[in-house]
């Protein structure tokens, strides 16, 4: 006679947590109990709980935030990419609360890509604005934008104050700007990017490279953005 196959304990814990999520005991964005609390609940050691949580993470159902805990994944946020891309507008349209956290602001010599994209002459500088984009306080993207410094001497102060490229450029006299082009590719998160985005090193990221022009056709922003592949769906539009 054959021996009945027993379900591994970690799989039973995974299935129990999966039922909790499916029945909305823990909803999107909710924090799960700690490993210690789950170990007490199921009468197992923390290693077994950790394996069950890892299986849920592999299925995209939860994600860990370094130092904060494990959270139920939210539905992907649709982020339109078209002629006009506005971070705050896009997030609000998706029902999310937008925010930006500044990581760095400096005026320096451009790198080769920045100089070429912004059509800068030798010796001209750029303002570089780097930061973290958040939706409902959850990190969804890292960004780095370069602007020609000469036409916009007060731009860094405006960006620090307003946290909005659209509003800051408007103060500098740019009432409208549109995308000349956008390029998309896939990247793996570096250790530093993973730390900022509360994900793991090697996690899939969607990178966009884009150039924006003012109404007169002059380059005003060369931007690079790294979106979390498990939190954002980029949607191409003609708008």
Report helix, strand and coil shares of the chain as percent, to nearest 5. 30, 35, 35
pLDDT in tens, the chain (239 residues): 445 558 789 999 999 998 898 888 988 878 999 999 999 999 999 999 999 999 988 877 888 877 788 988 776 788 888 888 778 887 888 777 888 999 999 999 999 999 999 999 999 999 999 999 998 888 899 999 999 999 999 999 999 999 999 999 999 999 999 999 999 999 999 999 999 998 878 888 999 999 999 999 999 999 999 999 878 888 887 65
Domains observed in the chain: 9-72 (1.10.10.10), 77-236 (3.40.1410.10)
Cβ–Cβ < 8 Å for 222, 211: yes
């Amino acid at each position: 006679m054959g021996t009945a196959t027993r379900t591994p304990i970690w799989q039973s814990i995974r299935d129990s947590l999966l039922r909790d999520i499916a029945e909305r005991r823990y909803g999107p964005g909710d924090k799960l109990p700690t490993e210690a609390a789950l170990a007490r609940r199921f009468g197992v050691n923390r290693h077994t709980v950790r394996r069950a949580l890892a299986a849920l993470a592999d299925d995209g159902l939860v994600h860990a935030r370094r130092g904060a805990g494990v959270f139920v994944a939210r539905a992907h946020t649709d982020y339109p990419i078209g002629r006009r891309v506005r971070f705050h507008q896009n997030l609000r349209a998706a029902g999310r609360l937008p925010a930006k956290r500044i990581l760095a602001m400096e005026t320096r010599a451009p790198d080769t890509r920045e100089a070429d994209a912004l059509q800068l002459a030798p010796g001209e500088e750029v303002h570089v604005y780097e930061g973290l984009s958040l939706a409902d306080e959850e990190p969804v993207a890292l960004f780095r934008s370069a602007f020609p410094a000469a036409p916009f001497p007060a731009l860094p102060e405006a960006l620090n104050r307003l946290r909005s490229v659209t509003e800051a450029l408007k103060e500098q006299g740019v009432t409208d700007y549109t995308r000349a082009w956008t390029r998309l590719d896939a990247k793996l998160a570096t250790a530093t990017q993973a730390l900022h985005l509360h994900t793991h090193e090697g996690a899939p990221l969607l990178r966009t490279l884009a150039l924006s022009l003012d109404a007169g056709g002059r380059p005003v922003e060369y931007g690079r953005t790294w979106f979390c592949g498990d939190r954002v769906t980029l949607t191409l539009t003609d708008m």
